[in-house]
Amino acid sequence: GQQLNQSPQSMFIQEGEDVSMNCTSSSIFNTWLWYKQDPGEGPVLLIALYKAGELTSNGRLTAQFGITRKDSFLNISASIPSDVGIYFCAGQLFPSGTYKYIFGTGTRLKVLA
Amino acid sequence: GAVVSQHPSWVICKSGTSVKIECRSLDFQATTMFWYRQFPKQSLMLMATSNEGSKATYEQGVEKDKFLINHASLTLSTLTVTSAHPEDSSFYICSASTGKYTEAFFGQGTRLTVV
């Protein structure tokens, strides 16, 4: 099935460092969503973006909807141990009058205390 | 708000039996629900999209007779894995949305193990 490309695939960082990850696609999306998934649980919504160029923050998290509508990035500032997990981007598509969400390949984050 | 509850959280079944997984939106009406499958250390793969009162739309390669989806109300969708086999063992997750240009909220997932 379709997937969005996320990078990096994984990263190890020191507590307190800033983190940046991005998501790219060959298709245009009208909505970008960022989720965090802990082991054995469903993804939890972090940030939703609806307009090209939009920059939105949620606490230490900041995400932007790319101008071309084909990419998005997520930044985490001053990382803490509980930031560990897998981060997924998701884009919304509108095939044939309906809609669906396609997920990125994920970025696995590990924070070293 | 925006709570999605999935049940059961885990299930073990014998090969050849069927298993039903429920997905409920507890505090909102979900016009559309989505079912995903996730293998270890991989991303979420969309299996099907279901709208209340109509037939589900399955992604390419997903067997509709194997994975039966029913979306009987605006707050409940079910996924039934029929004649389950060990290769159906996986983590199944549902999500619910109120419409286009909105967010999707996820259930906690169901770990299915077929023995």
Contact criterion met (CB below 8 Å) for B19 and B112: yes
Q: Distances from the Cα of B32 to the Cαs of A28, A56, A97, B77, in angstroms?
A: 22, 26, 13, 9
Quick one: pLDDT at residue B7? 97
Q: Which of B32, B42, B93 sits opposite A42 (nearest CB)?
A: B93
Quick one: pLDDT at residue A2? 64
| C-alpha span between B38 and B92 (Å, rounded) | 6
Cross-chain Cβ contact B34/A105 below 8 Å: no
Cross-chain Cβ contact A90/B104 below 8 Å: yes
If you measure CA to CA, which chain B residue comes closest to A47? B103
* Model pLDDT for residues B33-75, shown as the tens digit of each residue: 999 999 998 999 999 999 888 889 999 999 999 999 999 899 9
The single-letter DSSP state of residue A68 is: T
Mean pLDDT, each 10-residue run in order, chain A (113 residues): 85 95 92 95 95 96 96 96 95 82 94 84
Cross-chain Cβ contact A31/B101 below 8 Å: yes
Query: How close does chain B come to A38, measured CA to CA in Å?
Result: 10
- Pairing, β B10-13 against β B110-114: parallel
